[in-house]
Chains A and B, each alone.
Chain A
Amino acid sequence: MEDWMISNLVTVGLLAAMVGCVFLIRRSRLWSEAAVELWKRRPIAILCVSLYLAVAILDSIFWVGGVDTGEDVVSAHEAKSVIDRLFADARERSYSSPFADVEFYGGKALAHPGSHPLGTDIIGRDVVYLALKGVRVAILIGGLTSLIAIPLSLLFGISAGYFGGRVDDFVFFVMSTLASMPGLLLLIALIMAMGRSTLSICIALAVTSWVGFCRIVRGETLKLREQDYVQAARVLGVSEVQIVLRHILPNLAHLVIITFVLTFSGLVLSEAVLAWLGVGVDGSWGQMIDQARSELSRDPVVWWNITAAGSALFVLILAVNMVGDAVRDVLDPRTLRERS
């Protein structure tokens, strides 16, 4: 099974899951009111994030053939995403400034004059294309890492909070150990050990970031355990697993969502720093910034690379942060209770 086929399947699965979530939300009055509230507060930020998501999804659907790739003979055999196809024949030889007709240094005529809104990079790739390719990378990093870290935190946090005793001690011990090691060093070491594929970087990021949420989960679980209905369920002999699944987990749902959104931006920013230190994901904005920072010292200055990557990064992070704040306000247990 080729990589791109897996990507297609996962994308379809994700879309299906999203549709499923929409149905679930509509069925619950609590959640749909929260959603409407969220939309009212931050329409622009939500639209922004959705736009990025849409680009990422478009960049995750691949198929082979049907596009003219010019000189690059091999490309004709490779799977190309929707985004790839839009920019398939936009290669130049080297730098060009936005909307230019000639090369930036030397003035040779371009192959596609006037068609690069943000110019081209040192080997002639269109900068808008590169920035768009970075969207999928960023969303993957935030999403995949959270997908690994959050279940990990839930597993350990709930076990620690619910079962207490030795389990709690052990989990607390692991958390303290991880927390007292300098995060960046550990991150670099893990990535050097596991290689620089997207998956290993996400695993490394997950390992260094699950502790924070785990503590919160543990605290919440401790509180929930003392609730009357939970006590009642235990007395009645309901199995532990059932209790966790039916009473504890759903009550943590709002925390999960808040954490997911709030830590998303932190993860993407961390990856940018990793890229600068040489251990980031290929094609990320961090890598573009790393490469572009020496371009700022050129004379005349090559500014479009770093502007594109920097802005794309900034807008995404800003939008996610704003949505995150709104999510936290909307899902704050106090307001939730007040509304219901």
Chain B
Amino acid sequence: MTLVVRRLFSLSGSLSVFAVLAVLMSCSNNPYSEKDDDVNVLYTVYSEAPKTLDPAVSYNVTSHSIIGPINETLVEYHYLKRPYELMPGLAKEVPKPNVLGDGRVSYTFALREGVIFQNDPSFELGGAGKRTRKVVADDYVFEFMRVADPGVNSPVIHIFSKIEGFHDFGVRLLELRKDPAFKAMPVREQYQKAGPIEGLRAPDDYTFEVVLTAPYPQLIFWFAMPFTTAVPWEAVQYYDGNDGRPRFADHPVGLGPYRMTHYDKQFRIVLERNENWYGALHPEWKAPGAVYPGEGEEGDREKGYQSDELAGRQLPFIDRIEFRREKEAVPKFNKFLQGYYDKSGITKESFDKVIQGNDLSPEMASMGVSLDRVVQLSVSYIGFNMVDALVGTSAGDRGRKLRQAMSLAVDADEYIELFLNGRGVPAQSVLPPGIFGNDPEYKNEFRAVDLERARRLLVEGGYPNGIDPATDQPLKLRFDTAATSATQLITIRYLVDSWRKLGLDVEVKSTTYNKFQEKVDNRVHQIFQWGWVADYPDPENFLFLLTAAMADKHGPNSANFRNAEFDALFAEMKSRPDGDMRRSIIEEMLGILEQERPWIELVNPVSYVLFHEWVNHYKPPGFEISTLKYQGIDSTRRGELRREWNVPVMWPVYVLLVIAIAIIAPGVLSLIRERQ
């Protein structure tokens, strides 16, 4: 071989040896630093970077999972008890509504004395050297004023508009802000000048009163959400994004069991123990929100959620929580299998590996993984635009029969089996199981597949065999969607195929999210698919979706369903306490929906949660509430198992190394020979 050739080959060979060595050195699939092995840390995931961590504004699952442990609230949900029950958090008791004479209702919260905020440099604004201060009723008033402030853009401003003077405060603020001098003042002063809000009172530092203009029993549920936490004005003023300081939306300052210590929203967020938490500072209070509960649901003892040893133990158990971003479901699940995440849902791809029959597969069980199933307080449905000429109210009886027929063709059981691996129950009505008013025995007559009956209905409706008499062709309908990924489109394809069996030609119009919203806003959509996740466990939070008031622009009643009788019944049942009367009103309402079919109810998703043997006493909730302080980890055991499970397969590297040397050797040999 010529010299050049040998030189070239040996150069390539050397480079490949180098590459192989580099591979060897960095070889490991552990996404965390080795020094974190065996530390009391919980690893959890989020898929979308949170837009904001401002408790007045954030309204999605990711942000709430992060600020939930930071911004605790006056009342909380009991960790173990079902049906879901509220218990005191930062307030001493869960207040009952106090009816005032003239139709108004008030709630009085008695605040715990001695609660302080987490340490933070922003408290210097209150005095040099100050790192924290006591939490007082004014801090709650301040947060509510922020929600009322149109400039903050809180998405729940209309919920709290029932508070006396709430809306007017916002109007006054906007008016005053037209003056640039006013606008330049710090926010707290602006509120003081524009305020107060009549319905929010702080008669003393530890009493917080809320007065509503009309009864709204579900209001108390909103007090379990971060919108109503206490927010220090110092933090809002200090964290304005200037001079290198982060914005308040990226730097929450709270009073919960954890505080945020690292914020790289694109891939890593870290929470650590807050030593100022009232549970840590005042264990003698034995506050319900600071100790592990002693009561629970039936079956909790067997599952390890409840025990004498755990009851009354101080919270939280975990020192640090690491949130990591995983956009794709498959890598996330694989990392769970490798021990790098502590809990996981089950992707549909891995379902058969994990579940066999109705239980964990032997492979999973041998890894020590456990499974828990929870029905989610949510419902997914196919909706009809009731304003549409063909499928809506204006089509009268014809339209109704069409909707009923289409409802009879959709096989929710098969849908769940094919696309959700059985992780769901067919929804019979608007209300999912676990919500008052849901009757486990109730079977919606139009949600059992009956193609014969559907065909008869079509004949009655004037579309024999699905043929539109006007064109002598199959009736053309439209399914509008914003789904663009192949997996989502295929589920819609399945639905379309069901309707084709009736002879109905449903065309799928998939567009960008913008165009889809536009269609919905302009009410030109026809058939669509949507879902709703409960904010709180009350039937009002589902039934309101079909009231006429919600059909206005941007309202959640995308089906534009307007039914006077339904609305009247809704007004009656809204404020009633749970009981027989309420139940019978709800039954009537569901009866109307059953016949009118503005929705084809599809699925109540069941979430399957897998967790490793080192995760202790984690009871997954059916809707989004924060439970991080109740969870425990055995990190030593985790370290052991992780190392056991993640030995890289190295033999191909050695093979490559041998080949690389085989290529260099002749070149090197010839070099040596030349020297001699």
Contacts and interface: CB of A to CB of B under 8 A. Distances in A.
B487 interface: yes
The 7 A-B residue pairs with the shortest CB-CB distance in the complex, in nearest-first order = A299-B353, A291-B486, A278-B484, A73-B503, A74-B500, A297-B349, A298-B349
A185 interface: no
Contacts of B501: 71-73
Interface string A170-192: 00000000000000000000001
A287 B505 CA distance: 23
Given A78-B505, A196-B510, A290-B485, 12 more contacts: A71-B501, A74-B474, A74-B504, A77-B474, A93-B414, A122-B418, A123-B494, A192-B514, A279-B484, A291-B485, A291-B490, A295-B349
Interface in A89-130: 93-94, 105, 121-123
B486 to A, nearest CB: 4
A66 to B, nearest CB: 17
A294 interface: yes
A194 to B, nearest CB: 11
8 contacts: A71-B501, A77-B474, A278-B484, A279-B484, A287-B486, A294-B347, A299-B350, A299-B353
Contacts of B329: 294
Interface of B: 329-330, 333-334, 347-353, 414, 418-419, 465-466, 473-474, 484-487, 489-490, 493-494, 497, 500-505, 510-512, 514
Contact of A300 (B333, B352, B497): B352
B241 to A, nearest CB: 28
Interface string A251-289: 000000000000000000000000100110010000110
A75 interface: yes
Indicate the member of A74, A77, A287 with the most B CB atoms within 10 Å: A74
Nearest to B467: A77
A73 B349 CA distance: 32
Contact of A297 (B347, B486, B497, B510): B347
Contacts of B493: 123
Nearest to B421: A105
B486 A275 contact: yes
Nearest to B465: A73
Contacts of B486: 275, 287-288, 290-291
Nearest to B329: A294
A294 B330 contact: yes
Interface residues of A, number: 31
A195 interface: yes
B353 A298 contact: yes
Contact of B503 (A74, A196, A278): A74
A94 B502 CA distance: 20
A282 B481 CA distance: 14
Contact of B500 (A75, A123, A279, A297): A75
A278 B485 contact: yes
Given A278-B484, A298-B352, A73 B466 contact: yes
A192 B482 CA distance: 12
A241 B330 CA distance: 60
B497 A291 contact: no
Given A123-B490, A196-B510, A279-B484, A73 B502 contact: yes
Nearest to B511: A195
Nearest to A94: B418
Contacts of A291: 485-487, 490
A253 B484 CA distance: 40
A291 B493 CA distance: 13
A58 to B, nearest CB: 23
A185 to B, nearest CB: 15
A71 B502 CA distance: 9
A338 B349 CA distance: 60
Contacts, number: 78
B466 A74 contact: yes
B308 to A, nearest CB: 40
A213 to B, nearest CB: 30
A192 B502 CA distance: 34
A291 B486 CA distance: 5
Given A195-B511, A294-B487, A123 B418 contact: yes
Contacts of B419: 122
A87 to B, nearest CB: 15
Nearest to A286: B486
A294 B488 CA distance: 13
B333 A123 contact: no
Nearest to B512: A192
B413 to A, nearest CB: 12
A267 B351 CA distance: 36
A77 B465 CA distance: 12
Contacts of A123: 418, 490, 493-494, 497
B468 to A, nearest CB: 11
A258 to B, nearest CB: 32
Contacts of B418: 94, 122-123
A122 B351 CA distance: 14
A75 B487 CA distance: 23
A300 B333 CA distance: 16
A71 to B, nearest CB: 5
Nearest to A196: B510
A73 B347 contact: no
Contacts of B494: 123
A297 B503 contact: no
A149 B494 CA distance: 37
A77 B418 CA distance: 28
Contacts of A298: 349-353
B416 to A, nearest CB: 13
A115 B418 CA distance: 22
Interface in A288-340: 288, 290-291, 294-300
Nearest to B513: A192
A64 to B, nearest CB: 10
B484 A74 contact: no
A192 B330 CA distance: 27
Contacts of A299: 350, 352-353
A192 B349 CA distance: 29
Nearest to A104: B352
B409 to A, nearest CB: 11
A282 B419 CA distance: 20
Nearest to A302: B349
Contacts of A78: 505
A148 to B, nearest CB: 23
Nearest to A193: B512
Indicate the member of A275, A294, A300 with the most B CB atoms within 10 Å: A294
Contacts of A77: 473-474, 505
B490 A73 contact: no
Nearest to B499: A74
Given A73-B503, A122-B418, A297 B334 contact: yes
A297 B333 contact: yes
A278 B352 CA distance: 27
A298 B421 CA distance: 12
A123 B493 CA distance: 9
A265 to B, nearest CB: 22
A210 B491 CA distance: 37
A216 B547 CA distance: 64
Contacts of B497: 72, 123
A248 to B, nearest CB: 42
Contact of A73 (B489, B500, B510, B512): B500
Contacts of A278: 484-485
B199 to A, nearest CB: 45
A297 B350 contact: yes
Given A73-B466, A74-B474, A105 B484 contact: no
Contacts of A72: 497, 500-501
Contacts of B466: 73-74
Contacts of A300: 352
Nearest to B489: A282
A74 B511 contact: no
A50 B611 CA distance: 55
